[in-house]
């Protein structure tokens, strides 16, 4: 199931290009046509598409199941927020610190796991362990105000300050849209590179890849580090968009699970999968919200039960995800069966 | 602090750890045989805990007695779950199985939330405040009974796998899926049986846990993670390993709660997991599988 996109692009480049440009155009004009609430919903969708894309590098491309990606987003958010609140350093400079730190953290986890032959489910549990360890650690770290949370000053500005990431939802929307586009292009480039082919080889059969001369250890390390660095931007964005960070929230395992639901539902290892998955899942959640409100049901948990049931139905009915099924339906991808 | 305090806390930690061990044993059996990452394990335990709360408040049954009916109910539940939902997924990729079980976990947590609300429920037995004193050590009666019951259930399970033909068949499935198929075992039915046994185990552990902690819908995910930590620490596929892992984690949590702060205790459990994964990936009592 090598890069679906690459195969589509090779066969029918024009159709896909038109689709992509239309999609991008729709995204660019969208915030001027809808209200602020829907803009925030779109921000959530793009945020999940972005993080899903980042996670996909590690799992979808290189086959390493991480269930602790919240650690990279959380570290990114905390680093940028601390630099901003304590030293007045802006988020884009903060990002320059966040990305290497997240990559380094990924490198530590990857190094320990891959060196000691921790793989599969064990690797997944190790990533959770690191994320939970960090969550509880930050919960007791006074430097970041421990469990009482770190807050960014909120100021009413007459104009959008892109440099300091202070402004209206619409500005944040374009920031995360740009990031999603960058991540998409990055993944496309990576997939079609030597590294991408090595990753796919490792994903499909690590022993065979190793026997064929792929330096599996080194390329798995690259996957973790790139994925972690890309994810850390999401954390910076989160910090400046929501203006508050609680270890209990940003490092929570449910953050990690949120990130991976999109790509799995959408189609793991594909470029459009994380985007479709984010759309479907957030759309589902919002629809359930609206339906509950319309029916006057105010029962905590009811929405989540329906959400869980929908997840269950999707995974039972479309175990490969939506995209492979969709592209088969549309006849875009004859070879996938 | 006097030495007595440490000793008391250590004993309490070990007793709680035995119940943890029984919970983890259920996961170890499921994980070791069916090879499905049961990320709804703690959630399944919380179902049993709520069953215990309901039975206690309506019929005033002692948790030690309702252990048996609740374990039986959980067995049926686990069997049905595996036979109906998980069996078709056993040859699918791990992340697909993971998502299936996570969806299940979300449903369980929130159904419990709808039925019982977010508040904590307890089981107040007549012996809740009793204790025994042996020399300088004061032992909490509830914890002692819970730990004793956990050990009995674990021994029964151990006997089942060791000495019965059915247990042998399950072990055969765990050792070699294809081989088990070749010799004519009904692997799917045995998987369902195993999941049922694992569910009964965690159900029994859940009933015992009501003697030790309060139950809220949100404890499910916490205990899922804890069960994984214990199983991997003790050694996957090793039943004694699950108990030893439970003991170790129970003891660590208790001492960490005393020496640092109770809210940081699970950090040490995760720390131990990281150390074990790095230096003895097969777990304390596990054996290396190629």
Give B112-128 pLDDT, tens digit per residue: 999 998 888 888 888 87
Q: A305 Cβ partners below 8 Å, 6+ apart? A: B106, B107, B110, B111, B114
The alpha-carbon gap from A164 to the nearest alpha carbon of chain B, in Å, equals 35
pLDDT at B79: 94
- Token couple for B45: 């335990």
Query: What span, in angstroms and rounded, lies between the C-alpha atoms of B74 and B26?
Result: 11
Write the DSSP string, B86-111. Answer: IGGGTTS-HHHHHHHHHHHHHHHHHH
Under 8 Å CB pairs connecting chains A and B tally to 124
pLDDT tens digits for B225-281? 899 899 888 887 788 889 999 999 999 999 988 888 877 888 888 888 888 877 887
- Token couple for A290: 């609206």
pLDDT at A86: 87
User: Is residue A247 a contact partner of residue A135, using CB atoms and an 8 Å limit?
Assistant: yes
Residue appearing with tokens 């931007």: A233
Using CA coordinates, name the residue in chain A closest to B271: A133
Q: Which residue of B42, B84, B86, B103 to mutate against A (max A Cβ within 10 Å)?
A: B103
Q: Any CB–CB contact under 8 A between A96 and chain B?
A: no
Digits of tens for pLDDT over chain B (290 positions)? 678 888 888 888 999 999 999 999 999 889 888 888 888 999 999 999 999 999 998 988 888 889 899 999 999 999 999 998 888 888 888 888 888 998 999 999 999 999 998 888 888 888 878 888 888 888 888 889 889 999 999 999 999 988 999 999 988 888 888 888 888 888 889 999 999 999 999 999 999 999 888 999 989 988 998 998 998 888 877 888 899 999 999 999 999 888 888 778 888 888 888 888 778 877 888 765 53
Q: Which residue of B32, B89, B91, B110 to mutate against A (max A Cβ within 10 Å)?
A: B110
Which H or E run includes B204?
helix B187-209
Question: Exposed, middle or buried, A25 (CB in 10 Å: 0-12/13-18/19+)?
Answer: exposed
Using CA coordinates, name the residue in chain A closest to B107: A305
Helices of type H across chain A? 4-11, 13-33, 36-56, 70-87, 91-115, 120-139, 169-191, 194-204, 206-211, 216-242, 247-250, 253-266, 273-295, 302-317, 322-329
User: Is residue A107 a contact partner of residue A224, using CB atoms and an 8 Å limit?
Assistant: yes
CB atoms A132 and B264 under 8 Å: no
Which of A118, A300, A311 minimises the CB distance to B99? A311
Which of B110, B221, B274 minimises the CB distance to A305? B110
Write the DSSP string, B1-58. Answer: --HHHHHHHHHHHHHHHHHHHHHHHHHHHHHHHH----TTHHHHHHHHHHHHHHHHHH
User: Is residue B10 a contact partner of residue B251, using CB atoms and an 8 Å limit?
Assistant: yes
Q: Any CB–CB contact under 8 A between A206 and chain B?
A: no
Q: Any CB–CB contact under 8 A between A108 and chain B?
A: no
Residue appearing with tokens 């009811």: A302
Which H or E run includes B149?
helix B141-163
Q: Any CB–CB contact under 8 A between A58 and chain B?
A: no
First to last CA, chain B: 48
CB atoms B277 and A129 under 8 Å: yes
- Token couple for A161: 């300050």
> A151: which strand partners?
A244
Using CA coordinates, name the residue in chain A closest to B96: A319
Q: Tell me the pLDDT of chain B averaged across its residues.
A: 88
Which H or E run includes A150?
strand A150-151
Question: What are the chain B neighbours of A257 within 8 Å (beta carbons)?
Answer: 102
Query: What span, in angstroms and rounded, lies between the C-alpha atoms of A244 and A252?
Result: 15
Using CA coordinates, name the residue in chain A closest to B222: A253
Residue appearing with tokens 């589902």: A284
Strand pairing class (A244-245; A150-151): antiparallel
Digits of tens for pLDDT over chain A (337 positions)? 455 555 445 555 677 778 888 888 988 888 888 888 889 999 999 999 999 999 999 998 999 999 999 999 999 999 999 999 888 888 999 999 999 999 999 999 999 888 877 788 888 888 988 998 899 889 888 888 888 888 888 776 677 777 777 878 888 999 999 999 999 999 989 988 899 999 999 999 888 998 998 899 999 999 999 999 999 999 999 999 998 899 988 998 889 988 988 898 898 888 888 999 999 989 988 888 888 888 887 777 888 888 889 888 888 888 888 888 887 777 665 444 3
pLDDT at A13: 62
User: Is residue A234 a contact partner of residue A91, using CB atoms and an 8 Å limit?
Assistant: no
Buried b / exposed e along A130-141 (16+ C-beta atoms within 10 A): bbbbbbbbbbee
The model scores a pTM over 0.90: no
């Amino acid at each position: 199931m090598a890069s679906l996109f690459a195969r589509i692009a090779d066969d029918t480049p024009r159709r896909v290009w038109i689709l992509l440009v239309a999609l991008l155009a729709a995204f660019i004009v969208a915030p001027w046509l809808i209200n602020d609430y829907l803009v925030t919903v779109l921000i959530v969708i793009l945020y999940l598409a972005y993080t899903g894309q980042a996670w996909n590098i590690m799992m979808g491309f290189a086959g390493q199941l991480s269930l602790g990606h919240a650690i990279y987003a959380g570290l990114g958010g905390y680093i940028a927020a601390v630099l901003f609140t304590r030293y007045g350093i802006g988020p884009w400079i903060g990002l320059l610190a966040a990305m290497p730190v997240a990559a380094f953290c990924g490198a530590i986890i990857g190094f320990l796991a891959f060196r000691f032959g921790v793989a599969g489910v064990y690797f997944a549990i190790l990533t959770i362990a690191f994320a939970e360890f960090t969550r509880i650690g930050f919960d007791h770290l006074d430097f970041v105000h421990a469990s009482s949370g770190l807050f960014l000053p909120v100021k009413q500005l007459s104009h959008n300050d892109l440099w300091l990431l202070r402004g209206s939802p619409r500005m944040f929307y374009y920031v995360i849209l740009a990031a999603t586009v960058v991540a998409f292009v990055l993944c496309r480039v990576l997939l079609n590179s030597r590294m991408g082919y090595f990753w796919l080889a490792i994903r499909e059969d690590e022993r065979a890849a190793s026997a064929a001369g792929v330096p599996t250890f080194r390329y798995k390390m690259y996957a973790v580090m790139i994925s972690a660095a890309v994810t850390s931007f999401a954390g910076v964005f989160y910090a400046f968009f929501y203006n508050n960070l609680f270890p209990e929230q940003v490092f929570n395992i449910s953050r990690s699970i949120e990130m991976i639901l999109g790509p799995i539902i959408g189609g793991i290892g594909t470029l459009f999968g994380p985007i479709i998955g984010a759309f479907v899942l957030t759309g589902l959640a919002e629809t359930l919200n609206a339906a509950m409100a319309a029916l006057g049901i105010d029962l905590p948990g009811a929405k989540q039960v329906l959400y869980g049931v929908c997840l269950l139905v999707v995974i039972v009915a479309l175990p490969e995800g939506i995209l492979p099924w969709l592209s088969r339906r549309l006849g875009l991808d004859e070879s996938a069966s | 602090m006097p030495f007595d305090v440490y000793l008391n806390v250590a004993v309490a930690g070990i007793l709680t750890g035995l119940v943890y061990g029984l919970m983890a044993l259920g996961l170890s059996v499921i994980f070791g045989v069916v090879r499905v990452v049961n990320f709804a394990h703690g959630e399944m335990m919380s179902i049993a805990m709520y069953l215990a709360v309901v039975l206690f408040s309506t019929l005033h049954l002692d948790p030690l007695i309702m252990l048996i009916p609740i374990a039986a109910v959980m067995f049926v539940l686990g069997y049905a779950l595996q036979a109906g939902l998980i069996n078709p997924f056993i040859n699918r990729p791990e992340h697909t199985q993971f998502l299936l079980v996570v969806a299940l976990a979300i449903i369980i947590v929130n159904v419990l939330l709808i039925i019982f609300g977010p508040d904590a429920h307890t089981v107040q037995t007549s012996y809740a405040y009793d204790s025994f004193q042996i020399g300088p050590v004061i032992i909490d009666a509830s914890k002692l009974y819970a730990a004793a019951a956990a050990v009995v259930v674990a021994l029964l399970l151990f006997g089942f796998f060791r000495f019965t033909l059915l247990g042998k068949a399950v072990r055969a499935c765990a050792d070699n899926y294809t081989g088990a198929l070749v010799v004519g075992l009904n692997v799917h039915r045995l998987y369902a049986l195993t999941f049922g046994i694992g569910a009964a185990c965690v159900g029994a552990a859940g009933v015992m846990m009501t003697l030790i902690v309060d139950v809220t819908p949100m404890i499910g995910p916490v205990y899922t993670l804890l069960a994984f930590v214990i199983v991997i620490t003790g050694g996957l596929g090793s039943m004694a390993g699950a108990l030893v892992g439970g003991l170790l984690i129970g003891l660590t949590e208790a001492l960490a709660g005393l020496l640092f702060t109770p809210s940081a205790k699970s950090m040490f459990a995760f720390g131990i997991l990281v150390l074990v994964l790095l230096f003895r990936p097969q777990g304390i009592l596990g054996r290396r599988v190629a």
